Structure 1
Amino acid sequence: MMRINFSKRVRVCLLVIFVFVQGNLLAQDSEKISWRSAQDQPKEWYYSDQAIEIANNVLLYQHENGGWLKNINMADDISEEDRKELEKERKQKVGTTIDNGATHTQLRYLAKVYTASKQEKYKSAFLKGMDFLLEAQYANGGWPQFYPIRQGYYEHITYNDGAMMGVMNLLRDIAKQRNQYTFVDKNRVKKAENAIDKGLEIILRTQVQVDGKLTIWCAQHDKNTLEPAKARAYELPSLSGNESTQIVEYLLKIENPSEEVKRSIRSAISWFQEHKVMGKKVKWTKDSEGRDRILVEDVNAGPLWGRFNDIETGKPIFVGRDGKIKYHLNDIERERRTGYNYIDDYAVNLLDKKYPKWAEKHGVK
């Protein structure tokens, strides 16, 4: 009797769990979901009708060259009229991009849906997009913002907004056959390995030296000279607190780092430690003109780092659309203060948690 009762309880519990999971999936299907949140759902969700619908949108937005354009909510409903227009646009020979999370995020999503559904069209689209990323890489290891190349700052090696590091993190997951990437064929896995090796080389070569001392990286580097380069009017050659944090975090995950990689990491960490902004905090305010973001004094605040920092001094710089350097956030126009994150606690988690853990693992002092 004891065995029978236990068995019944197990069956009841399993039934309750099944109903709960199915109920959650149905509830999520009935609610509108954003593209951002669609990328971070429980594994079971990628079986759902809603996940499939979004995946079909992703396929529709994919261009013939394998890539995607940026700033598109893939989870939005698409009308029949829009669908016809997209069919025309995707065949146009225009450069697609890795900027603002484009292409590498779509590929991660497709891999999850393919793993769940086993529908070949998602695998085919993924492999086509992966081939696009591999083809777009420069011979020196960097990636441009757009490919085929769009003239102007778009052709710089682009760390800005996580572009190149987003690609390299994806390719590393593929090369290591992690998570949902085991379906990728051996030939492409090898190509991914080669691509991240080349990418590592250019990361090490573009780390900025000042007076013979390694510092951090610019948001973009000239594809030929590898020097820090200008992008938009308010994105001058400088040292980037945000993008450099992402690069170091990538380097920390290298399983057997060379002495050159260790030196690169230590040097960047030293720069972050030496250029903390203390005693200040970012504050959001509101007045008759709307919201504003300002920097205020607070003895207990910090550390912060500039998104852009003077290469020689490491001091944060603030540049509006006029392209002129200011040294106080409050001196540039409100539109830029509220629309661009010029100063933040970018490296706090890196310094407090990630680097100490890495240093202990590798015996680095």
Structure 2
Amino acid sequence: MKHMLKPVCIKVGLTLFAGACLCGGIQAHSLNGEKEDILNTMKSATRYMMDSVSYRGGFVWNYLPDLSRSWGEMEAKRTMVWIQPPGTPSVGHLLLDAYHATGDKFYYEAAEKVANVLIWGQLECGGWNYVFDFAGENSLKEWYETVGKSGWRLEEFRHYYGNATYDDLGTISAAKFLLRMYVEKNDPAYKAPLEKVIHFILESQYPVGGWPQRYPLRYDHPFEGKEDYSSFITLNDDVTPEIIDFLIQCYQAMGLQNIKEPIMRAMYLTITLQQGEPYAGWADQYTVTDLKPAHARSYEPRSVNTGTTVGMIYQMMEYYKLTADTRFLSGIPAAIKFLESQKLPETEVRKWHRKSDNPDEILVPRFIDPDTGKPLYVHRKGGNIYNGKYYIDQNIENTI
């Protein structure tokens, strides 16, 4: 029960963010002569976060004011460092932003500490897991066997894979920060770990162009009678779009010619992954052999996802702007038609008990059966991994 109680916490990113935003305003408007006070407050907050809150320069997400307990997506050990946002790379990005806003090398030196922590936690394969532990791999395994194993909704933490993840921007958020550190001053200290993660990304790409959720590939954690989904080609949480975005940044900033073809291969795959009419949207993940929609966690059924479809429509417009290839636009009308076809009648809207104030918005189911077009509403009963269960039906009431 205690893991569910989270008193008011220090939130990692926000402490520095307020100062960084104000500093940008200072340069534009002088803020009535308060610049010095704001800069002093900003630096004091950063010192506290780096010297007292961080562990060797690494962060999780939230902390009790006395630092006696801390959390990433789940409760964390003091020696743990969280990668997925808003964790350690997010702080690194913020410190670089503060350096640009102020010109104060103090923030760059703090960003260097964060970068060194991430390099320490980079896996041999070149990517990152959601989290690593300065106390060692046995300590991390023990966490997975206790805290992680108790995650009901957070099923991705119920198994220790020992590999890297693209989920929740884990590897990519760290990679983008190291890229920024490298191009900031062309510091060779960051070139080797950056090249290592680029090699990891290219090695983990499927020939067809997509990426799995985790790599090196593992198939040994089937769940509730379904195969391990971590090898499936993944769009969920912007896995493929974010990897493409990072590679484009590398191509632009470093001039790496060998990554252009993998970028293009991945971008054109997104056209192929759009489903045919009448359900012409995109799924969260796909089986590799036939590129068909696939399941993920127990509450993420094999489906076409309307939210993912909206995101991919925007991505298609971005890829068109990059390439001038109208094939990226060709599927958008069908995707919009599909979304409009899923508009729920007012009787269903009333059952959901929530309504938007925006008259232009429509309510649609999140998950759509790719074969029948029926909505797949997810429900749960119970309260933990021992008595809890997710189930799916066509009843919109009491969805999670």
Shorter-chain TM-score bucket reads: 0.5 to 0.7
In structure 2, relative to structure 1, the CA distance for the partners of 1:131 and 1:305 (3 Å cut) is: farther
Q: 2:352–2:397: 8 Å Cα contact kept in structure 1?
A: yes
Q: Which residue of 283, 292, 304 corresponds with 2:363?
A: 304
Q: Match for 1:164: what amino acid?
A: T
* Larger mean Cα displacement after TM superposition, 166-175 or 27-36: 27-36
In structure 2, relative to structure 1, the CA distance for the partners of 1:25 and 1:304 (3 Å cut) is: same
Aligned partners of 1:191, 1:280: CA distance in 2, in Å?
A: 54
Aligned partners of 2:38, 2:371: CA distance in 1, in Å?
A: 56
Q: Answer yes or no: is 1:131 the counterpart of 2:208.
A: no
Q: Percent identity?
A: 23
Q: 2:179–2:250: 8 Å Cα contact kept in structure 1?
A: no
Q: TM-score, normalised by structure 1?
A: 0.67
- 1:193-214 Cα offsets, whole Å, 9 max, x none, are 211211122211121114xx56
Residue 240 of structure 2: aligned partner: 164
In structure 2, relative to structure 1, the CA distance for the partners of 1:106 and 1:330 (3 Å cut) is: same
Q: 1:215–1:268: 8 Å Cα contact kept in structure 2?
A: yes
Q: Answer yes or no: is 1:149 the counterpart of 2:217.
A: yes
Q: Answer yes or no: is 1:50 the counterpart of 2:104.
A: no
- 1:138-165 Cα offsets, whole Å, 9 max, x none, are 0010111111111121111111122112
How far residue 43 of structure 1 moved from its aligned partner, in angstroms, is 2.7
Q: Match for 2:275: what amino acid?
A: V
Q: Which residue of 276, 295, 312 corresponds with 2:352?
A: 295
In structure 2, relative to structure 1, the CA distance for the partners of 1:158 and 1:280 (3 Å cut) is: farther
Aligned length: 288
Aligned partners of 2:332, 2:48: CA distance in 1, in Å?
A: 44
Give the match's secondary structure for 2:230.
helix
Q: Match for 1:38: what amino acid?
A: V
Q: 2:92–2:114: 8 Å Cα contact kept in structure 1?
A: no
Aligned partners of 1:54, 1:299: CA distance in 2, in Å?
A: 41
Residue 85 of structure 1: aligned partner: 136
Residues 1-365 of structure 1 aligned to structure 2 (within 5 Å): 23=40, 26-32=43-49, 34=61, 36=86, 37-38=90-91, 41=94, 43-45=97-99, 47=105, 48=107, 49-70=109-130, 72=131, 82-83=133-134, 85=136, 94-116=162-184, 118-151=186-219, 152-175=228-251, 177=252, 182=253, 184=254, 186=255, 189-210=256-277, 213=278, 215-254=280-319, 255=321, 256-277=323-344, 295-298=352-355, 302-312=361-371, 314-320=373-379, 322=389, 324-331=391-398, 337=400
Give the match's secondary structure for 2:206.
coil
Q: 2:211–2:233: 8 Å Cα contact kept in structure 1?
A: yes
How far residue 112 of structure 1 moved from its aligned partner, in angstroms, is 2.2
Q: 1:67–1:103: 8 Å Cα contact kept in structure 2?
A: yes
Q: Match for 1:196: what amino acid?
A: I
- 1:169-223 Cα offsets, whole Å, 9 max, x none, are 2112323x1xxxx2x2x4xx2232211211122211121114xx56111111110
**CA RMSD between the two structures:** 3.5
How far residue 23 of structure 1 moved from its aligned partner, in angstroms, is 3.4
Q: Match for 2:352: what amino acid?
A: L
Structure 1 portions without partners, runs of 5+: 1-12, 75-81, 284-293, 338-365
Give the match's secondary structure for 2:268.
helix
- 1:214-263 Cα offsets, whole Å, 9 max, x none, are 61111111101111112222222111122222222221112244332211
In structure 2, relative to structure 1, the CA distance for the partners of 1:323 and 1:257 (3 Å cut) is: farther
Q: 2:167–2:239: 8 Å Cα contact kept in structure 1?
A: yes
Q: Match for 1:234: what amino acid?
A: Y
Residue 355 of structure 1: aligned partner: none
Q: TM-score, normalised by structure 2?
A: 0.62
How far residue 118 of structure 1 moved from its aligned partner, in angstroms, is 4.4
In structure 2, relative to structure 1, the CA distance for the partners of 1:150 and 1:115 (3 Å cut) is: same
